[in-house]
Amino acid sequence: MTNTNFHLTCKDHLVSGKEFQLQMKSDFEILETNPKPKNLSAYYESENYISHTDSNQSFTDKIYQAVKNFMLLQKLKWIHKVSEGNNLLDIGAGTGDFLLAAKRKKWNVEGIEPNAQARKLACEKGIELQQELALFKENSFDVISMWHVLEHVPDLEVQLKELYRLLKPNGVAVIAVPNFKSFDAEHYKEFWAAYDVPRHLWHFSQNGITGLFKKYNFEKLQTKALVFDSFYVSLLSEKNKTGKSNMIKSFKVGIRSNLKAKTTSEYSSLVYFFRKC
């Protein structure tokens, strides 16, 4: 990717309190987080980073876990409609809940997760996760999923080439990412929780991610909305902005975001289905 233009300054509200710039890439409608920390793993070291735990302690944790469990079967239904095969790889598998649900539905599952604590929790559920994509042979999978993971990878080019290598002919990449053109993103601006700098290194619009995947020989099949994300993200964003949670206000912003998206299709988070050409 090439030249950048300044877009927004955001703060790390989870770990460091440091500020980072979001810069628009000139070749795609994609924002890049700068500077990229050399010790990026240190920015994940927080008890509040829920993707690496099964925490159910706070009210926000309970909402996250409830929505996650509700959506597991919906995600599998979406995937079943675009793939006739049953070999599934989940990259950034976290604590393994999605793969466990898929395994119960007779999928042959594999997963990648770099975080040791998350791998341990997945193993306790009977899901063994690997650390490296290089372990897998080319043309191995009918479906590769990345649920809110692509925004974390250091090198998009390397990642998309690996997706292409590992998918079977006509295989499908299922990619869920936040959408910085949603109403809740525009409402909260630098406080929008889904910017989550510096853990989120990339930020996508619909045109941006579609153009990126087209460059690496993928065809977009369809897009699905993650309608619950606007509520959860707004709850976190409100706390970023004011220092405290406001359930009622967050709910109103989430509702407004989804209502606007019925016309614009700019939901808070979107799932893209890309077929390998």
Q: Does residue 55 register a pLDDT over 80?
A: no
As to burial, measured by CB atoms within 10 angstroms (0-12 exposed, 13-18 middle, 19+ buried), residue 245 is middle
pLDDT band, very low/low/confident/very high, at 240 (cuts 50, 70, 90): very high
Tell whether the model's pLDDT for residue 50 goes beyond 90: no
Count of domains forming the chain? 1
Q: Are 270 and 262 in contact (CB under 8 A)?
A: no
Q: Which of 11, 14, 13 is nearest to 22 (CA)?
A: 11
The answer to whether residues 203 and 178 touch, using CB atoms and an 8 Å cutoff, is: yes
Range(s) of the domain holding residue 110: 4-276
pTM value surpassing 0.75:
yes
Residue 204: which CATH number? 3.40.50.150
Sign of the torsion angle spanned by Cα atoms 11, 21, 40, 143: positive
Mean pLDDT within 34-45: 91
Going 51 to 52 to 53 to 57, the CA torsion angle's sign is negative
